[in-house]
């Protein structure tokens, strides 16, 4: 399989405030075969890290942001070159971190300093061969393992921000999937007498009593205020919608 060679050199490198601009990402995937569907989103997340020769610690894909590409293009390119993955990149960065390059880690000033923009990348494709495969080996890890093996403190900070963002995103999705209660079907004998099992006749319940019964039933289900509002609105429409339509001349 052919692939584009990795970019080399820094002749197109972007700088700002004497800092080298860097773009990177945290590639991740959501496990779909987890038995406990009620588990948190972060417990079903795996993140992808890469190793470098002669080292046991790991890093996330990152590299120089060059002047002929956007920061999003740079982050995607680094993920492809170093880890051989493609995916969906979040538009907003997880954050911006300032750090020293690996060759300047022991300096006491910001000489060789970098400003890194990190993004979340949902992986949709893993390539069998990629540009820097001989230099980098990829490894899927749980967030706990990733935090343990991460080489840099600033990357650990980025990982924590990423996990918080994923958890918040999962909570928002869960709120949208609230199961609404079922409303009873319209009673075809609403305007007629109903027979009890004993053969006695009784008047059908009034609309007001139906409303109170349904609301009480849902209160017993301990609905949240927003759910109760939806239930009440639906019940009102069910009970009085026909009358409203009739008063407007709709028959």
To the question of pTM greater than 0.75 for the whole model, the response is no
Question: CA-based angle 155:157:161, to the nearest 5?
Answer: 115
- Check residue 195 and give its pLDDT: 37
- Check residue 190 and give its pLDDT: 38
The one-digit pLDDT tens for each residue of the chain (251 residues) are 555 677 777 788 999 999 999 999 999 999 876 655 566 788 899 999 999 888 889 999 999 999 999 999 999 999 999 999 999 999 999 999 999 876 555 555 556 799 999 999 999 999 999 999 999 999 999 999 999 999 999 999 999 999 999 998 877 765 654 444 444 433 433 333 333 333 444 444 555 555 555 555 555 555 566 666 666 666 555 555 545 444 444 44
- Check residue 170 and give its pLDDT: 74
Domains of the chain (ranges; CATH) run: 15-176 (3.90.79.10), 194-247 (no CATH)
Picking from 78, 83, 84, 50, the residue whose alpha carbon sits closest to that of residue 66 is 78
- Check residue 186 and give its pLDDT: 39
Half-sphere exposure of 23 (CA within 13 A, CB side): 25
Half-sphere exposure of 67 (CA within 13 A, CB side): 9
- Check residue 176 and give its pLDDT: 55
Residue 198 has phi, psi (to 5 degrees) of -85, 0
- Check residue 220 and give its pLDDT: 52
Picking from 37, 35, 45, the residue whose alpha carbon sits closest to that of residue 166 is 45
- Check residue 237 and give its pLDDT: 58
């Amino acid at each position: 399989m052919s692939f584009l060679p990795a970019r080399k050199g820094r002749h197109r490198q972007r700088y700002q405030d004497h800092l080298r601009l860097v773009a990177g990402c945290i590639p991740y995937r959501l496990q779909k075969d987890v038995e406990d569907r009620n588990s948190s989103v972060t417990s079903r997340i795996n993140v992808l890290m890469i190793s470098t020769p002669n080292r046991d610690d790991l890093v996330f894909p990152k590299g120089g942001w060059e002047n002929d590409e956007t920061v999003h293009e740079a982050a995607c390119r680094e993920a492809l070159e170093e880890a051989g993955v493609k995916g969906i990149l979040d538009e907003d960065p997880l954050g911006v971190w300032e750090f020293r390059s690996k060759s300047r880690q022991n300096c006491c000033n910001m000489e060789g300093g970098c400003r890194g923009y990190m993004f979340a990348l949902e992986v949709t494709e893993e390539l069998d061969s990629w540009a820097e495969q001989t230099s980098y080996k990829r490894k899927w890890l749980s967030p706990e393992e990733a935090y343990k093996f991460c080489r840099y403190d600033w990357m650990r900070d980025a990982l924590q921000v990423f996990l918080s963002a994923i958890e918040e995103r999962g909570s928002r999705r869960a709120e949208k999937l609230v199961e609404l209660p079922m409303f009873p079907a319209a009673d075809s004998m609403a305007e007629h007498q109903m027979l009890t099992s004993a053969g006695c006749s009784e008047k059908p319940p009034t609309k007001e009593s139906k409303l109170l019964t349904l609301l009480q039933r849902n209160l017993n289900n301990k609905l949240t205020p927003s759910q109760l509002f939806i239930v009440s609105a639906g019940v009102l429409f069910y009970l009085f919608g026909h009358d409203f339509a009739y008063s407007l001349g709709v028959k």
